[in-house]
Amino acid sequence: MNYPLEIGLRPWRRMQIIARRAGASLLLVTSIPASAGLSLEQAVALARNNDPWLQGSELRQQAVEALSVSEGSLPDPMVDLGFANLPTDTFDFDQEPMTQFRVGLSQVIPRGDSRELRRRQLELMGTEYPHQREERRAQVAVQVAHLWLEVFRARESVRLIEEDRTLFEHLVDVAQSSYSAALGRTRQQDLVRAQLELTRLEDRLTVLRERQDTARSKLGAWLYVVEGAAFTTSGGWREIELAEQLPELEVSDPRLTRSESTFSPRELAGYLQNHPAILALDSRIAAGETGIALAEQKYHPQWRLNASYGYRDDDPMGNDRADFFSVGVAFDLPWFTSKRQDPQVQSAAASAEALRTERSLALREMIAAFDAQRARLVRLEERRTLYRDRLLEEMHEQAEASLAAYTHDDGDFSEVVRARIAVLNARIDALDIEIERLKSISQLNYFLVAVGA
């Protein structure tokens, strides 16, 4: 923001006017007129539409579902073709009565209900993918929101510093004029201090612009469709321009985040057990339990049915010979169960139990993370209210009082500089509180994705 010089006013009077104008925008840091730009909601929608992981998940689900159809079918039958009992002295087909051309067909019948159980297991595995995709969408919303907010934070911090830089530039000019004219109480160290603070502002601007570029590049990775190594869009991440106003995010279930509300871990578990991440583990557990029943089918024998037809040629005298037909059945005998079947069942049971412990651990970590974010949001709301209602205004008044005292030879120049730096830091702190509050809300909405639905 640029401030024109008021012609005819004394230097300190000009600086007071500039300071008041700079302070007019500090009370409501986020009240900026909206204009065209990429909103947070649009960024999340773009990221979800361009997420290859979601497309890959759908393909993996299709693969499992197709495999379940295959696993529920009988194995392909086997055809056996061959000559039997050919005489080795002449290899004549009609020399010996036992010589024949045989065609056989055999069919393996899997153990017990293993086909149906395997089909059921794959179907349950397929139900895990929709929950994974739902969790992925929630994760993408959190990650993109954090990156969007980081870009916004850096951009607005730069804007706040650039607003105050004009004031500090005039502060240096006034100190220089006062010192050169030997007027007032300006000392050389005051002039050095003013110039030092201006240099520090330049350094802060450089750091913030670097953070803005880094966050914008990470955000761009979510927004652009990549083919090979090049973006398909005409521009790149440097062209991303955000909306001028912070979004109005709300917690999906506000009663869970009120400061006066208290919930036991058991009550929170009741809310979070329908989270997609937990439901995905439930699907894996159900598939694992089916795996136990599938392993128990190893105690049943595997059958094989076979039938063959043997063709015989006429004898050397031209007499007709009867053809042969054979049919049979074969099966294995699962006798050594202590070394084969029992360990397999125990392994399946242990794997299913391990999935239950994984679910318990995931739910416990989710409860702890939710409770921590909830407590954090409560404190951020308290700080937000404190800054809006009191702190920003009080610091602005202090800065005005310090400047007024110095212009009347009743204050210290260093105090003026410290007061202005404190106001700038407070404005940036207020912005940080707004950003962290929205981050906390987006994280809580990730936990409450099922409740919000």
pLDDT along the chain (453 residues), means of 10: 36 49 42 62 92 94 92 90 87 83 93 92 94 96 96 94 77 63 59 77 91 91 63 54 89 75 79 92 95 92 93 82 91 85 93 95 94 92 94 88 76 76 91 96 90 46
Task: Determine the residue type at 384.
Answer: R
Assigned domain for 100 exists: yes
Quick one: angle between helices 114-126 and 128-180, nearest 10? 20
pLDDT at 35: 46
Assigned domain for 5 exists: no
Assigned domain for 63 exists: yes
Closest CA to 431 of 158, 36, 110: 158
Assigned domain for 120 exists: yes
- Contact between 23 and 164 under an 8 Å Cβ cutoff? The reply is no
Give the C-alpha distances (Å, rounded to integers) separating 149 from 124, 274, 351. 39, 28, 42
Assigned domain for 6 exists: no
Q: Which residues pair with 87 in a beta bridge?
A: none
Q: Which domain holds residue 356?
A: 11-452
Long-range contacts of 186-193, Cβ-Cβ distance < 8 Å, separation of 24 or more: 186/413, 187/413, 190/413, 190/414, 193/413, 193/414, 193/417
Q: Considering its fold, how many domains does the chain have in total? A: 1
User: pTM of the predicted model, to two decimals?
Assistant: 0.79
Assigned domain for 160 exists: yes
The Cα 43–Cα 38 span in angstroms is 7
Residue-wise burial string across 422-443, b where 16 or more C-beta atoms lie within 10 A, e elsewhere: ebbebbbebbbbbbbbbbbbbb
Assigned domain for 1 exists: no
Assigned domain for 383 exists: yes
The Cα 420–Cα 438 span in angstroms is 28
